[in-house]
Amino acid sequence: GAVVSQHPSRVICKSGTSVKIECRSLDFQATTMFWYRQFPKQSLMLMATSNEGSKATYEQGVEKDKFLINHASLTLSTLTVTSAHPEDSSFYICSAPDRNTEAFFGQGTRLTVV
Amino acid sequence: SQQGEEDPQALSIQEGENATMNCSYKTSINNLQWYRQNSGRGLVHLILIRSNEREKHSGRLRVTLDTSKKSSSLLITASRAADTASYFCATDYSGTYKYIFGTGTRLKVLA
């Protein structure tokens, strides 16, 4: 079945640095991908829609200058958390819809900012 | 917010018992999915049910969808300790597979 690979699975970074998270669709092309964030003991919240070849669409309350999204190819979207702070520590997960079937989720990235 | 509500928020049962979780949503949907998430891990897809379907089964799982009531339920029969996890419903309102997740139910199955 369709697979979405997310990398890295865990990352620890220092406050003020930037972190890039990759989301790849391995055996299908995805013109759209979605990024979610999950704080401990909470549900997943949609952050943004990544669109291949155009700007991402951000949900209300998500800072687009802080969470940079690039969808440079039909199989890769990246989320860069810029100038990360401890409050950005969270579980980030992407999904990519295979248009003929359903959306497939990556394994998630646990970001810890120290 | 379009976020769906799930109840109960937490459920603790004995192994072998059935567990039922409910999800209510706010507007018409294209499809709804149920996911399981073990603590600190990624999502495990359980069942997708489309708006024109009323019931689906997969092993010990049974999902129902009542579009008139804007609700869905997940039934896990003969539960096992390994079923201990958080369960989320996720609704697709637009048919684009952009999902809005429910608040989740934390299930604990006691051995």
Q: Of the candidates A43, A95, A103, which has its C-beta nearest B88's C-beta? A: A43
As a whole number of Å, the end-to-end CA separation of chain B is 38
User: Which residues of chain B lie closer than 8 angstroms to A93, CB-CB?
Assistant: 42-43
* Rg from Cα positions in chain A: 13
B103·A43 Cβ contact <8 A = yes
Residues of chain B neighbouring A43 (CB-CB closer than 8 A): 3, 88, 101-104
Report residue A71 as tokens.
Answer: 């969808």
Q: How far apart are CA B97 and CA B22, in angstroms?
A: 21
Q: CA-to-CA distance for B101 and B44, rounded, in angstroms?
A: 14
Distance CA B87, CA A65 (A): 32
Q: Locate the chain B residue with the closest alpha carbon to A104.
A: B45
Residues 6+ apart with CB under 8 A from B68: none
- Residue A100 confidence class, pLDDT cut points 50, 70, 90: low
Put simply, whether A62 touches B (Cβ < 8 Å) is no
Q: Does the pLDDT at position B92 exceed 80?
A: yes
CB contact under 8 A, B42 and A110: no
A50-90 pLDDT, tens digit each: 999 899 999 999 999 999 999 989 999 999 999 999 999 99
Q: CA–CA separation, B92 vs A108, rounded Å?
A: 20
How near does any CA of chain A get to the CA of B110, in Å? 20
